Amino acid sequence: MFQYLNEEAETLSREKIEALQDERLKRIVAYTAKSNPWYAERFRKAGVDPLNFGGIKEITKLPFCSKADFREQYPLGMCCVPRNTLAEMHMSSGSTGTPVVMPSTAYDLKQWAQCMGRCYVMAGAKRGDTCQITPGFGLFNGGFGCYHGAREAGLFIVPTGAGNTTRQIKLAQDFGTRVMVSVVSYSIRIMELLRQTNQGLPDLKIGIFGAESFSAEMKKRITTGLGIDAFDIYGMTETGGIGLGMDCPAHEGIHVWEDQYIVEVVDHETGEPVPDGEFGEIVITSLNREALPVIRFKTSDRGRILTRKKCVCGRTHLRLDTISGRLDDMLIISGVNFFPTQIEQSLLKIPGVLPNYQIIIRDRHGIKSLRINVEAEPGVTGFMVEKQLKEDLGFSPEGDIYKPGELPRSEGKAKRIFYETLDDNSSKGETK
């Protein structure tokens, strides 16, 4: 019943996975040090001899790298191959400043296609299935990652890219889309339009979602609303793009392709490893990339390792819990720490509340307060929202209830968090 793109690699024994990781880690340390003085200098400072590095058991001796390193080394300071051997690049800009660039050689594109291809097949996609790719084809890695992987898995690609929801629906109907890739907020948009126009997508069975953290409650709305099985794909520009892992049909955690990546979970502040099962910051090392292998990249994603045991699907690669949020996005309001996805989870528990909302963080003289605007069907009252948030988060923010369709929509990743500074006497007007 369960299918694999690469059965041998996906079902390696734990011993074999660890032996392979050990060998590849030693190789990547020696390779990067030899290819680029930036890496060599960092190893030297950390007291690591790249030619005699001890492998996995010494991984904590290797220095971390971060988004800031990518920005400082823009455009190709961390690249390990000559520019004329590159095949493609992707980039993410983030909220401020210099972008993060990930260059790829032809070998890297094959590696990416392999990872993404495994995800499609794991979700149940079969050779010849129509696969509609709604993330944009551009600098953002999503569209092209889905494309390379779909080629590898032998799917029939409908590369719509972002936007034009009416046409997306028409193409999905006309070409019998069975697999659709999208960001969560965009699938909400499609669901909304289907409902308004009284249409359906009877062939659609598999939804692959990435790029935004989403709550279990949101997932439930999507799976029932579209009548699909929903998968949570993981990966980022710095690791070579989306597809380094995804959950399988058992939905008991995100399998990370451990022959390609090492996952660690560390304390966000101290950088010390935390035991399996405990939450911390996810750190990724890419073991099989040529142009820009990351070594101990601090993702800022908060998560935990659920298990390293073999899954019912037969895969042996470890499983991560759903990413609970970006540590950079954690909010502290009235002394309570929480992630925006917790607000989403709480709101969507209320029947009649729609998956369109805004979180507004107001800063008055350094004191933060929260305002939540949400769309809801008639009958939902402010009191119901307040009560639910109080119960789940321990305090109730201010806010308004909007009619369906009143809050602004986006064609891509939704903007849900807004910052406002109300510091009347201060010369600084910027928060984030």
Under the rule (CB under 5 A), what is the footprint of Zn ion?
A: 248, 250, 311, 313, 315
Question: CB-wise, 118 or 315, nearer to Zn ion?
Answer: 315
Question: How many C-alpha atoms does 300 have within 13 Å on its Cβ side?
Answer: 13
Question: CB-wise, 216 or 250, nearer to Zn ion?
Answer: 250
Cα torsion for 273, 276, 277, 280, to the nearest 10°?
20
Question: CB-wise, 122 or 133, nearer to Zn ion?
Answer: 122
C-alpha to C-alpha distance for 313 and 275, rounded to whole angstroms: 25
CB of 314 to Zn ion, least distance (A): 7
CB of 265 to Zn ion, least distance (A): 19
Question: CB-wise, 250 or 336, nearer to Zn ion?
Answer: 250
Amino acid at site 40: A
CB of 8 to Zn ion, least distance (A): 16
CB of 248 to Zn ion, least distance (A): 3
First to last CA, the chain: 48
**Beta-strand runs (E) in 26-94:** 88-92
CB of 304 to Zn ion, least distance (A): 17
Cβ-based neighbours of 275, under 8 Å, separated by 6 or more: none
Question: CB-wise, 311 or 370, nearer to Zn ion?
Answer: 311
CB of 320 to Zn ion, least distance (A): 12
Q: C-alpha angle with apex 398: 393 to 401, nearest 5 degrees?
A: 105
| Under 8 Å between Cβ of 249 and 123 | yes
Backbone φ and ψ for 77, nearest 5 degrees, come out as: -65, -25
CB of 131 to Zn ion, least distance (A): 21
| Under 8 Å between Cβ of 285 and 259 | no
Cα separations (Å) of 25 from 9, 15, 29, 54, 156? Answer: 17, 15, 6, 9, 36
CB of 123 to Zn ion, least distance (A): 11
Question: CB-wise, 225 or 314, nearer to Zn ion?
Answer: 314
Question: CB-wise, 221 or 304, nearer to Zn ion?
Answer: 304
Region of 257 (left: φ > 0; alpha: ψ -120 to 50; beta: rest) is beta
| Under 8 Å between Cβ of 93 and 99 | yes
C-alpha to C-alpha distance for 323 and 232, rounded to whole angstroms: 9
3-state secondary structure of 114: helix
User: Is beta strand 229-236 parallel, antiparallel or unpaired with respect to 241-247?
Assistant: antiparallel
Question: CB-wise, 1 or 332, nearer to Zn ion?
Answer: 1
CB of 1 to Zn ion, least distance (A): 12
C-alpha to C-alpha distance for 279 and 23, rounded to whole angstroms: 28
CB of 239 to Zn ion, least distance (A): 20
Question: CB-wise, 304 or 413, nearer to Zn ion?
Answer: 304
Question: CB-wise, 125 or 169, nearer to Zn ion?
Answer: 125
DSSP 309-364: SPPTTS--S-EEPPP-EEGGG-EEETTEEE-HHHHHHHHTTSTTEEEEEEEEEEEE
257-296 per-residue burial string, b: 16 or more CB within 10 A, e: under 16? bbbbbbbbbbebeebeebeeeeebbbbbbbbbbbbbbbbb
